[in-house]
Chain A
Amino acid sequence: MAVAAGLVGSFAVMRRMTLASDAISHVALPGIGLALAFGVNPVLGGLAALFVGTVLVWVTEHETRLPTEAIIGVVFSAALALGSMLASGDELIEALFGTPRAAGGAETILGLAGAALVIVFVLWARNALVIALVSPDLARTAGVRVERLNLLFLLAFALAVALGLRYLGVLLMGSLIIIPATTAKHLARSLRGMQTASVAIAVAATIAGSLAAPALGLESGPLVITIAATIFFVSLLVRREA
């Protein structure tokens, strides 16, 4: 899960989707609310809502040519409002910040499959994504189907968010995608370097947070993100040579 987050994050940050990425995770909320209301697995509800929201963003972007960031901002703030009406009390806190409860066997297998899918996609589409982020027109003339690539990337992003719903919750999973990648961008001078660092930081923060949480008597999700954020601030002290 952390590997998938680190990889997707590195492209999200380079595509200047930082804020949008955070907002995109909020759309899971109405899905979780509905799933709880109908007694379905909340992660599945969140996943479904994420996919619907993602496709909605893509179609709106395609039709209006507004920047992705602007559309996501509108769609997902609305989703957050809607979600908080549907979920209530403890459920809401759990959906927002995750729960340390262990996931069921089927959910674990599904999660691993989802993470594998995201990782394979990012590695497979890496070159096309690189060209498209420098210039969509260049990508087009190089034979890349840019619209389709954008949709696939957004879907991979949504899937990565869904992977962390149970464990980190809606608010914090967006951070696990963005913080390690932002840190890596600050440190790295090449794409390979950035992706390696991004994955390493995401994995390190997740493992350290999960191991330390019981000992400190804290929730693991918030601790994971706190560790990631600490790494980020420490990295700011390291100035790379220009």
Chain B
Amino acid sequence: MAAEALEVVGLSVSFGATRVLDDVTFRVAAGSSLAIIGPNGAGKTVLLKALVGALPAEGTVRWASGTRIGYVPQKLDIERDLPLTGDEFLRAKAAVARVPGDAAARALDLVRLPADVAVRPIGTLSGGQFQRLLVAFALMGRPTVLLFDEPTAGVDEPGEQGIYDLFRRLQREEGLTLLLVSHDLSLVYQHADHVLCLSRRRTFYGPPLEILTPERLQEAYGVPVKFHAHDHAGT
């Protein structure tokens, strides 16, 4: 059994009288990947925010010592005329995370974002370009854990494949632990070691084969859910 990167016990988050997450328990082995799925409003984004300490929560969140988190939030509302270039944004991270300035160029290279795009104001980037910039931002500072909230939302098909390939490469080469929220069940099926399925009714946690069954999904989503299960055992 590999060492644990994260242990979560009895995590609950409430907004006023509304309990969004109720008694969620799971653990993530170092170097593995956990997919977080569930219907809209089930608390997936709230869970990630609670894990990074951006929301007050009850229960225990225990990261392994020396954990460095890279986080890609879901969707950011950026003013179109905000005078801040992608390059400046990445260099700010380099300064705050105390990594050399050339880490920005390396991160851009990893996500395959051309340098001439990075010098434009971030509000003028397309959804997919901005998403890649955020991934580059997360990769700077040598994170040990990556948290992704719908990492490929708004990214075109080749771009999406590219980002998932990048995740796998990083996982292989740097032993990164991945936590990702996704709506794409077939990708989850392909890439995740474990699945955490949140829903208002019940929370399921286990390997994809156990969680991604028609019965379980219907219970979580409230309606029958179909997905195309590529059989890529071992990938």
* A32 adjacent to chain B (CB < 8 Å): no
| Of A135, A143, A194, the contact of B97 (CB 8 Å cutoff) | A143
| Of A126, A128, A191, A242, the contact of B124 (CB 8 Å cutoff) | A242
Chain B residues, Cβ within 8 Å of A142: 93, 96-97, 141
Contact B137 A190 (CB under 8 A): no
Contact A191 B96 (CB under 8 A): no
Identify whether the interface residues of B are mostly helix, strand, loop, or mixed.
mixed
Contact A130 B88 (CB under 8 A): yes
Complex Cα gap A61–B69 (Å):
27
The minimal Cβ–Cβ distance linking B81 to chain A, given in whole angstroms, is: 7
Complex Cα gap A59–B124 (Å):
35
Contact A135 B76 (CB under 8 A): yes
* A110 adjacent to chain B (CB < 8 Å): no
Q: What are the 9 A-B residue pairs with the smallest beta carbon separation, nearest first?
A: A127-B92, A141-B71, A188-B83, A127-B95, A130-B92, A194-B83, A137-B54, A190-B85, A141-B69
Interface 1/0s, chain A 185-198, versus B by CB < 8 A?
A: 11011111110000
* A152 adjacent to chain B (CB < 8 Å): no
The minimal Cβ–Cβ distance linking B160 to chain A, given in whole angstroms, is: 22
A127-B91, A184-B83, A191-B85 given; name 16 further pairs at CB < 8 Å: A16-B79, A126-B92, A130-B84, A131-B93, A134-B84, A134-B89, A135-B73, A136-B54, A137-B49, A137-B71, A140-B52, A142-B141, A189-B120, A189-B121, A190-B121, A191-B84
| CB within 8 Å of B: which A205-242 residues | 242
Complex Cα gap A143–B141 (Å):
11
Chain B residues, Cβ within 8 Å of A131: 89, 92-93, 96
* B2 adjacent to chain A (CB < 8 Å): no
Chain A residues, Cβ within 8 Å of B96: 127-128, 131, 139, 142-144
Number of residues on chain A facing chain B (CB within 8 A): 29
Chain A residues, Cβ within 8 Å of B119: 190
Give the interface residue-count category, chain B: 20 to 34
* A14 adjacent to chain B (CB < 8 Å): yes
| Of B73, B82, B93, B124, the contact of A137 (CB 8 Å cutoff) | B73
Contact A190 B83 (CB under 8 A): yes
Interface 1/0s, chain B 125-141, versus A by CB < 8 A?
A: 00000000010010001
| CB within 8 Å of A: which B30-57 residues | 49, 52-54
Complex Cα gap A139–B69 (Å):
11
* B70 adjacent to chain A (CB < 8 Å): yes
The minimal Cβ–Cβ distance linking B63 to chain A, given in whole angstroms, is: 11
* B78 adjacent to chain A (CB < 8 Å): yes
Complex Cα gap A215–B64 (Å):
69
Complex Cα gap A16–B53 (Å):
25
Chain B residues, Cβ within 8 Å of A40: none
Complex Cα gap A13–B92 (Å):
19
Chain A residues, Cβ within 8 Å of B53: 140
* A138 adjacent to chain B (CB < 8 Å): yes
Complex Cα gap A190–B53 (Å):
31
Nearest-CB residue, chain A, relative to B51: A141
Chain B residues, Cβ within 8 Å of A134: 76, 78, 84, 89, 122
Given contacts A134-B78, A142-B97, contact A189 B54 (CB under 8 A): no
